[in-house]
Amino acid sequence: MPRGSYTGRFAPSPTGDLHFGSLVAAVGSFLQARAHGGRWLVRIEDLDPPREVPGSAERILEDLERFQLSPDETVVWQGTRRAAHEAALDQLAAAGLLFPCACTRAELPPGPYPGTCREGLPPGRKGRALRVRVPGDPIRFVDGVQGPVSESLAECCGDFVVRRADGLVAYQLAVVVDDAWQGVTEIVRGADLLDSTPRQVFLQRALGLPTPSYLHLPLARDPEGRKLSKSLGADPVRSMPPLDALGAALAFLGHAPPPHGDLEARWAWAREHWDAGRVPREGGAVFGADGQAVYSPA
């Protein structure tokens, strides 16, 4: 890939403050962009207002600045892109790929969508959400860290929702539209989103959009082995000294830095030594009982 043609991004949702797992994703995506001489963008995925935490988006951006993680272009707020998301829905509908679904979550069995409304709404029912018809053939791609991936959408999730019952466009569609619009060439993010990637690759193909490369980083877990997440109340990064937290994030990604130096020196070392081939597939615990960032190899 020619230098300068690479575009990466970090796209947090404003549903809570930046935690260590989010920092790992930001650091990995930033260093991968710098290693390719490319752009690094930040996009706030404010797609789900009912779940947003007031002020979290601003605090996330403040924390990124505190870590010297400055995007190369103006931050994009995904909520401003709804017209483009709706246009993508129209394109899918014109291709005959969408159908209305009347099912509530309580009515659906565990596992993939059983196709209840695929051939038409049940008598007396009104459509609530819009689902997209998935193919029977598996979606295949090679991830930069996790390796070859092959998944049958029909077997793993079935026809999935692209516009929710509350009228909001689903994440799977919005992220595809906006990554293409911003010219993203590689998506570096946590492995918790690996299962979403086949759905996004399918939508890219259905919409005639380019498919970027993917690199899914290992998940940061607490001492009990649970994925760090906002829903679990993971410690916000703002409670950690930036130098220590960055060092722990780099070590977690297989790049343990020297113990000396300030934040600028640590970034300089990271840019010089970054190699995605050294990133492990799985990560270990990163928090001790005192809540401080530590590194424990997987």
Q: Which residues are catalytic?
A: 230
Three-state helix/strand/coil letters over the chain? CCCCCCEEEECCCCCCCCEHHHHHHHHHHHHHHHHCCCEEEEEECCCCHHHCCCCHHHHHHHHHHHCCCCCCCCCEEHHHHHHHHHHHHHHHHHCCCEEEECCCHHHCCCCCCCCCCCCCCCCCCCCCEEEECCCCCCEEEEECCCEEEEECHHHHCCCEEEECCCCCECHHHHHHHHHHHCCCCEEEEEHHHHHHHHHHHHHHHHHCCCCCEEEEECCCECCCCCECCHHHCCCEHHHCCHHHHHHHHHHHCCCCCCCCCCHHHHHHHHHHHCCHHHCCCCCCECECCCCCECCCCC
Residue appearing with tokens 């193919």: 135
